[in-house]
Amino acid sequence: MSHNDNQLDCSIEIVTPENISFRYQVAGPFRRLPAFLLDYAFRILICLGAAWILGILQSVSGFSGWAMLILLYFVIEWFYGGLFETYWNGQTPGKRVLGIRVLSINGEPINGLQAMMRNILRLVDLMPMVPLTALFGEGVYGWTPIGLVGLLTPVLNSRFQRLGDIASGTMVVIEERHWLYDVVRMDDAEAVELAEKFPPNFQVNRKTSRALSAYMERRKFFTKARQQDIARHLAEPLLSQFNLPRDTNYDRLMCALYYRAFVAEQGE
């Protein structure tokens, strides 16, 4: 990923107290909606589980747990997300499964107040409410949120913040491990041979080396013709610069360059 496609990839740059800047990828609706639905399922499960346990308690000891159940329902309804995000470092179970985390917009962790705020204001993001009759026809009563506000607001700002996020100064970032690729293995002996024909003082500059490694990581997904097509722009000037035969395979030349830039010891 090069520097100029930050905007394409929705990443946010954070400067840490160590004076390092690194990038987070902001989570969009396709991660956050499943996380929300999972959390919703967990909420129902918690309430059902509590009802079941209290039911057993009642049948065993005659202790009526209705009051506790209603209070639990109230707490789960309004403070489930807030409490989890406070004590679980910005994650709820659903967010954890989807690998996302809530952070302050300056990259700091959130505090309890922010967590509560953004979860209470979710009500607004779930608006507008639509009567079920409009969706399922006559005879079905009740209202359902359709969440248009929460879907449209994130589109209008660079951090994908819904209204609750904007008010509490938070954002949701993707946090998962990225696969670490090794340097691309070179099993092409001819490319290594070709690399030795380069002038010894030839240095690959930064921009070229970035392009080279991007090419090498993806070349196995291209057809032979496409490889030639892409490599030509760099290969043709280099061939004339190095006085190499015109009919050298462009792709092999790229491999040789890569070998020279990333693998081979210099000055041998």
Partner 1 sequence: MKVAELLKKRRQNWYELEQLCGQLEDRRRRAIGAATISRFAQLYRAACADLALADAYQIPPNTVQYLHRLVGRAHNQLYRSREFNTGSWAKMLLLDVPQRIFNDRCVQLTFAMFWGAFILSAALAVSSTVWPDFAEQVLSAEQISQLEDNFSDPIQGRNATYNPVMASFYIQRNTSIGLQCFAGGLLVIPGLLMTLFNAVHLGASFGYMARPDVPEGENFFHFVTAHGPFELTAIVLSAGAGLRLGFSWIYSQGLERFASLRKTAYETMPLMGAAMVMFFLAALIEGFLSPSAVPYPVKAAVAVISSGLLTGYFVLLGFPQQGP
- The phi, psi pair for 172, rounded to 5°, reads -110, 125
Q: Which of 101, 97, 72, 71 is nearest to 85 (CA)?
A: 101
Q: Of residues 41, 44, 48, 113, which one binds partner 1 by CB under 8 A?
A: 113
Q: How far is the CB of 211 from partner 1 (least distance, A)?
A: 9
Taking CB under 8 A as the binding criterion, the range among 12-20, 51-59, 135-143, 249-257 that sits at the site for partner 1 is: 12-20
Q: Alpha-carbon distance 165 to 142, whole Å?
A: 28
Instruction: Please list the residues that pair with 145 across neighbouring strands.
Output: 129
Q: How far is the CB of 243 from partner 1 (least distance, A)?
A: 25
Q: How far is the CB of 20 from partner 1 (least distance, A)?
A: 4
Taking CB under 8 A as the binding criterion, the range among 35-43, 121-129, 139-147, 223-231 that sits at the site for partner 1 is: 121-129
Taking CB under 8 A as the binding criterion, the range among 28-36, 209-217, 225-233, 237-245 that sits at the site for partner 1 is: 209-217
Using the rule CB under 8 A, is 242 a contact of partner 1?
no
**Amino acid, single-letter form, for residue 143:** W
Using the rule CB under 8 A, is 18 a contact of partner 1?
yes
Taking CB under 8 A as the binding criterion, the range among 33-41, 130-138, 207-215, 225-233 that sits at the site for partner 1 is: 207-215
Using the rule CB under 8 A, is 48 a contact of partner 1?
no
Q: How far is the CB of 26 from partner 1 (least distance, A)?
A: 12
Q: Which of 150, 178, 172, 179 is nearest to 31 (CA)?
A: 172
Q: Alpha-carbon distance 202 to 193, whole Å?
A: 16
Q: Alpha-carbon distance 171 to 173, whole Å?
A: 6
Q: Alpha-carbon distance 256 to 239, whole Å?
A: 12
Q: Of residues 30, 247, 266, 268, which one binds partner 1 by CB under 8 A?
A: 266
x-or-dash pattern for partner 1, window 156-185, by CB under 8 A?
Answer: -x-----x--xxxx---x-xxxxxxxxx--
Nearest CB to partner 1, comparing residues 64 and 241? 64
Using the rule CB under 8 A, is 64 a contact of partner 1?
yes
Using the rule CB under 8 A, is 230 a contact of partner 1?
no
Q: Which helix (H) or strand (E) holds 256?
A: helix 250-258
Using the rule CB under 8 A, is 14 a contact of partner 1?
yes
Q: Alpha-carbon distance 165 to 117, whole Å?
A: 8
Nearest CB to partner 1, comparing residues 152 and 236? 152
Q: What's the burial of 105, exposed, middle or buried (CB within 10 Å: 0-12/13-18/19+)?
A: middle
Q: Alpha-carbon distance 191 to 204, whole Å?
A: 16
DSSP state of 186: -
Task: List the structure tokens of 219.
Answer: 């070349």
Residues 24-43 that bind partner 1 (CB under 8 A): 24
Using the rule CB under 8 A, is 90 a contact of partner 1?
yes
